Chains A and B, each alone.
Chain A
Amino acid sequence: MGRYLGQKLLIYSLTFFFAVTIDWLIPRLMPGNPVDTLVSRMALRADVAAILRSYYLQAFQLDLPLWQQYLNFWGALLRGDLGVSIWLFPQPVLKLILDAVPYDLFLLLPAVILSWIAGNQVGAMAARVRWLDNSILPLGYILTATPYMWLALILAWSLGQVAGLFPIAGAYSFGIRPHLSWMFIKDLLWHWFLPFASLFLVMFGGWAIGMRNMIIYELEADYSRYLESLGAPPRLIRKYAFRNAMLPQITGLALQLGTIVAGAVATEIVFAYPGTGYLILQAVLNQDYFLLQGCFLFIITGVLIANFIIDIIYALVDPRIRTGMTGA
Chain B
Amino acid sequence: MGLRVENLRVYYRTLRGYVRALEGVTFSVADGEIMGLAGESGCGKTTLGHSLIYLKPPMNYIEGQVFLDGQEVPIWDMKRMNEFRFRRISVIPQYAMNALNPTRKIGQLIADLLAAHGVDFKEILPELKRRLDLVQLSHEVLNMYPIELSGGMRQRAVMVISTLLNPSLLIADEITSALDVSTQKAVCEMIVEFRNRGFVRSTIFITHDISILYQIADTIAVMYAGQMAEKAPTEAILRSPRHPYTRMLIASLPQVGVRYREERLRGIPGAPPRLLDPPPGCRFQGRCPVAFERCVETPPFVEVEPGHFVACWREI
Contact = CB atoms under 8 A, between A and B. Distances in A.
B90 interface: yes
Contacts of A244: 101-103
Contact of B54 (A229, A243, A323): A229
A233 B112 CA distance: 10
A230 B54 CA distance: 9
A231 B116 contact: yes
- Per DSSP, chain A at the interface is helix
B191 interface: no
Contacts of A154: none
A243 B102 CA distance: 11
Interface string B2-16: 000000000000000
Contact of A223 (B54, B81, B101): B101
Contacts of A222: 93, 95, 98-99
B100 interface: yes
A229 B116 contact: no
Contacts, number: 75
B147 A320 contact: yes
A323 B101 CA distance: 16
B91 interface: yes
B104 interface: yes
B116 A226 contact: no
Interface residues of B, number: 32
B67 interface: no
A319 B113 contact: no
Contacts of B145: 319-320, 323
Interface in A202-255: 221-223, 225-233, 236, 240, 243-244
A318 B54 contact: no
A7 to B, nearest CB: 21
A328 interface: yes
A76 B85 CA distance: 70
B82 interface: yes
Contacts of B158: 226
B88 to A, nearest CB: 10
Contact of B112 (A229, A236, A318, A323): A236
B113 A227 contact: yes
A159 to B, nearest CB: 43
Given A225-B93, A225-B95, A230-B113, 16 more contacts: A222-B98, A223-B102, A226-B100, A229-B54, A229-B93, A230-B90, A231-B84, A232-B112, A233-B82, A240-B103, A240-B104, A244-B101, A319-B102, A319-B147, A319-B148, A320-B103
Interface of B: 53-54, 56, 81-87, 90-91, 93, 95, 98-105, 112-113, 116-117, 145, 147-148, 158, 161-162
5 contacts: A221-B98, A230-B161, A231-B117, A320-B103, A323-B145
Interface of A: 221-223, 225-233, 236, 240, 243-244, 317-320, 323, 328
